[in-house]
Structure 1
């Protein structure tokens, strides 16, 4: 064991030794495996990156996030089963686009216009034929 330098270290070492004797460190997940990222270069933001990954967060500017949302909504619209589903998917997106046109979101220029839902419905119905 490491050299003990004071009463706190002694107490901590005793607690660890007692836990080892009770088997509390046996069969832990990852036992015998290398620690993930142990050989990676030091990164002062490692904890932020891990937190973002765990919480499924992203730092995409709102204007780019809206573009992606539009793209996903259009994909979902073309895969819809009914015309009503298309309208239900695209109307809320159009509201967001109109709001973003009035007050520009942070990030690169939006360069979006509201979706012509009638046109999407026509293309969708043509695919069904």
Structure 2
């Protein structure tokens, strides 16, 4: 367990001292990635970059990190591609109705994050688009 910071010393000095002591004990030797270049920055802060790399390395979808308002907007944008993979009209209707239910719920419960600006999806229009896309392929 880490010792407590002594009174009358700066936080920065205390952290630097702990790092120096850990280095002397060899606690930084043979860490994964030692000797490799740092990844190129993406314009995000370091913590965000790290989280994104970890999520992608684990094979997970980074969309799960979006705030609800943006996640719903993204889901509406990706809806045609998702519906194109469905085999039945019933499945298409269920997916669109589920999305609309979650959009309604988000408007009722929206408290934090970016403003919610996503509109409900017209079920009949989505089904018609799905039919056209199936006929074209």
The normalised TM-score by structure 2 is 0.53
The residue correspondences of 1:101-120 to structure 2 (distance < 5 A) are 101-104=107-110, 106-120=112-126
SS in structure 2 of the partner of residue 55 of structure 1: helix
Tell me if 1:55 matches 2:55.
yes
Which blocks of at least 5 consecutive residues in structure 1 are unaligned? 1-11, 14-24
Partners of 1:63 and 1:107 within 8 A in 2: yes
Distance 2:80 2:68 in 1: 18
Which blocks of at least 5 consecutive residues in structure 2 are unaligned? 1-24, 57-61
Aligned to 1:37: 38
- Match among 119, 125, 129 for residue 131 of structure 2: 125
| CA pair 100-36 structure 1, distance change in 2 beyond 3 A | same
Give the C-alpha shift of residue 79 in structure 1. 3.7
Q: Give me the CA root mean square deviation.
A: 3.7
Give the C-alpha shift of residue 121 in structure 1. 0.8
| CA pair 82-75 structure 1, distance change in 2 beyond 3 A | same
Partners of 2:93 and 2:123 within 8 A in 1: yes
Give the C-alpha shift of residue 52 in structure 1. 4.2
For residues 58-89 of structure 1, the C-alpha deviation after alignment (integer angstroms, 9 at most, x for no partner) is: 75332111111222233211342221221232
The normalised TM-score by structure 1 is 0.56
The aligned length equals 102
| CA pair 80-59 structure 1, distance change in 2 beyond 3 A | closer
Structure 1 runs of 4+ with >4 Å offset: 56-59
